[in-house]
Amino acid sequence: MKKQNTEAAALIGRLKETALKTGFSEAGVIDTAGLRFYPEIRAICEKNTCRSYNTCWACPPATGTLEECRQRCEQYDFMLLLNCRYDMKNSFDIQTMLESMTRFKKLMEQFDQNIREFLDSYQILSNEGCGKCKSCTWPDAPCRFPDRLYHSIEGYGFQISELAKAAGIRYHNGQNTITYFGALLFCAP
């Protein structure tokens, strides 16, 4: 991990505290120099398993190539990985999965609002597509809300379980739960 000076450590502490107060279950820090971008993960996107590929500004191919995603991430020193655990009735509770995904996206928006008070330059990555607009302008027109556009963390080719391990937070939270992940990329002062 990059050497953290006192100011950087204080900022990281404040970001973690803000994340937990916002409602995330856990938050952990990763040095961006150690991030790995997997073409295999991007290939899953290209198979359109989540039905968001080539449909919105938050997902590939709108997010750019893996190399462009890597270059974007390398502009920052750290990634704060965030997760939130949601309970389900059973492992086939699709309705709760979808409702929880929406709640997680709202949590990311609230976190964004909370950190704007003290952080200037950063990028937020969230789970799957965007969902802010009923119909996305991709690819015919620019995004309506570029300042609130959170690219898909999976679309960057990240293996989320690997990120969770590096950040020291849980990937699995037990039976009949689902855990969603997002991230904040930021620079040390």
Predicted structure pTM score = 0.94
Q: What's the confidence (pLDDT) of residue 129?
A: 80
Edge-first strand order for the sheet with 177-186 is 26-31, 78-87, 177-186, 122-126, 151-152
Q: What's the confidence (pLDDT) of residue 49?
A: 84
CA-to-CA distance for 185 and 93, rounded, in angstroms?
Answer: 32
- pLDDT tens for 39-81 read 999 999 999 888 889 999 999 999 999 999 999 999 999 999 9
Q: What's the confidence (pLDDT) of residue 122?
A: 97
Between helix 94-115 and helix 6-22 the angle, nearest 10°, is 140
What are the start-end ranges of the H helices in the chain?
A: 6-22, 39-46, 66-73, 94-115, 160-167
Is the model's pLDDT at 4 over the cut of 80?
no
- pLDDT tens for 24-38 read 999 999 999 999 999
Between 131 and 155, where is the model more confident? Answer: 155
Place of tokens 């020291």: 168
Place of tokens 């620079």: 187
- Given a contact cutoff of 8 angstroms between Cβ atoms, the answer to whether 2 and 31 are in contact is yes
- pLDDT tens for 142-177 read 999 998 899 999 999 999 999 999 999 999 898 999
Residue 129 has φ and ψ, to the nearest 5°, of -75, -165
* Whole-number average pLDDT of the chain: 94
Is the model's pLDDT at 131 over the cut of 90?
no
